[in-house]
Amino acid sequence: MGRAGATRVWIVDADEAGCLAGALSGMGLSARALAPAEARAAWSRGERCDVLVVDHDAFDGSSDARPPLEHLGLPADGPAIVELAGFEGDAWDAARRGVAGYLRKPVADEDVAAAVARADEARRLKRDCAQLRAALEPSDDYGQCSRDPRLHVQFERLRSVQDARVAILLEGESGTGKTRLARAIHQRSARARKPFVEVNCGALSGDLLESELFGHAKGAFTGAVAERAGRFEAADGGTLFLDEVASASSALQVKLLRVLQDMVYERVGDDATRKVDVRIIAASNSPLKEEVAAGRFRQDLYWRLRQAHLTLPSLRERRGDLPLLAARLLLKLAAEHGLEPKPLSSAALELVCAHDWPGNVRELEHVLQAALFYARGERIEPDDLELEVAPEALRAAADGFRPGQRLRELMDAQERCILRSALLHCAGNKSETARMLGIDRTTLFNKLRRHGLVEFGRQAG
């Protein structure tokens, strides 16, 4: 018999099935030889296997193209299949029928064991991916991966104005996802079929930015050899996203105020007034209210832009979101690069949660993308993460110390670290975590809510 926890293998109608079962059991697998009817009956009783080794010849030879699981009356999402065939079959055809491993008889026991191992690995990866996709299915959250109730209140407010032509101001540090959120607002609005046009106001000087936004007439300035439409015109009917809007010059701010109020403008060097229907979403890395107080930004424009408002917190302010956010990013990145999705190991997740992420979501995405390429195992390990300050950050998280904090804050940091470590140790099982810490479940959940860790352990395993 195989060891406890070993891969469970059923061998159905293969030549010398009993001998093969004995050989695989001797290699550390949990293998049984069963007739088709016995396999159906065992499954109906609730018994399960991880890999099914079947003899293709037992299913009417090569003329029957039905999947082996269908032959046996087992569910399509059942065990992985290793198929043995006594003829030169088509491996591609076998794959189309849901077969993970295809071997031609006669075959050595060691080759069957190797095929079983590969099929089981593929099964587990497929299962993990399906579980992650089910757990991470976007819920109308504008693409932001957050369990923070403060953010959800703001998201709810955005939903209430997403179809109105009110200006929206997004504030937050660089890399917190303001551009992504702006795109999500547009895509969920009634303007989704119209253009989404993005302008980085910080990347252009005043005159160039004005021409970029409003367009220019031929001969309006040196180099204007032809008339040119601006971004407002390009976004007509849709959404214009003004990133780093605080960089706009004083003269341009006046023109932006006018177009926000009246939805009219003139191209540079042209007297013709043009009307436009555009929803404005503006973003700023620094609080615009401070720019107003410093005299660098018009107060009237600030209030025009701030008809609806959302501040995106940094990752260090919502560490409880990191497991879910990392899992979603890994799925997205794996799909983009044609790679197998790989979750973070518990140790790697601990490093991710301890890091301060000064570059926020953008930095996290770049680190995870590299880790997907570097990782050689089924999971991403700490060595796959390019986090140079991770050891120091982890030690700081372990002792809860942050210079300048008060005692209550230090104690909270220590408690949060202990809770996070306990959840990882218990693979997210809240009852087991409460027992290990010697507290009841109600106390545990109260503490998890206070520290934003209610969902933390679910993505750790």
pLDDT digits (tens, 9 = 90+) for 304-335: 999 999 998 888 888 778 888 888 889 888 88
Return phi, psi of residue 204, to 5°.
-130, 150
Q: Are residues 159 and 288 in the same domain?
A: yes
Give the domain CATH number at 116.
Answer: 3.40.50.2300
Determine whether 187 is exposed, middle or buried from the number of CB atoms within 10 Å of its CB (0-12, 13-18, 19+).
middle
Residue 303's Cα: distance from chain center in Å? 34
Whether 269 shows a pLDDT value over 80: the answer reads yes
Whether 263 shows a pLDDT value over 70: the answer reads yes
Q: Are residues 327 and 308 in the same domain?
A: no
Q: Are residues 90 and 210 in the same domain?
A: no
Give whole-number Cα distances, 55 to 33, 48, 75, 105, in Å: 12, 19, 18, 9
Whether 301 shows a pLDDT value over 80: the answer reads yes
User: What is the chain's mean pLDDT, rounded?
Assistant: 80
Average pLDDT over residues 433-442: 80
Whether 279 shows a pLDDT value over 90: the answer reads yes
Q: Are residues 418 and 390 in the same domain?
A: yes
Q: Estimate the share of the chain in helix, then strand, then coil, as percent rounded to the nearest 5.
A: 50, 15, 35
Q: Are residues 38 and 98 in the same domain?
A: yes
Q: How confident is the model at residue 278 (pLDDT cuts 50, 70, 90)?
A: very high
Q: Which residues contact 205 (CB under 8 A, 6 or more apart)?
A: none
- What whole-number distance in Å separates Cα of residue 361 and Cα of residue 173? 10
405 or 200, greater pLDDT = 200
Q: Are residues 267 and 342 in the same domain?
A: no
395 or 79, greater pLDDT = 79
Q: Which amino acid is at 160?
A: S
Which structural domain range is residue 383 located in? Answer: 317-459
Closest residue by Cα to residue 326 from 360, 297, 349, 296: 349
Among 106, 135, 164, the domain boundary falls at 135
Residue 136 pLDDT: 46
Whether 280 shows a pLDDT value over 80: the answer reads yes
Q: Are residues 372 and 294 in the same domain?
A: no
Q: How confident is the model at residue 58 (pLDDT cuts 50, 70, 90)?
A: low
Q: Which residues contact 248 (CB under 8 A, 6 or more apart)?
A: 201, 206, 209, 242, 256
DSSP single-letter state for residue 45: T
Among 313, 329, 344, the domain boundary falls at 313
Q: What's the predicted TM-score (pTM) here?
A: 0.55
Residue 15 pLDDT: 65
Q: Which region among 69-83, 139-153, 392-406 has the lowest average model confidence (pLDDT)? A: 392-406
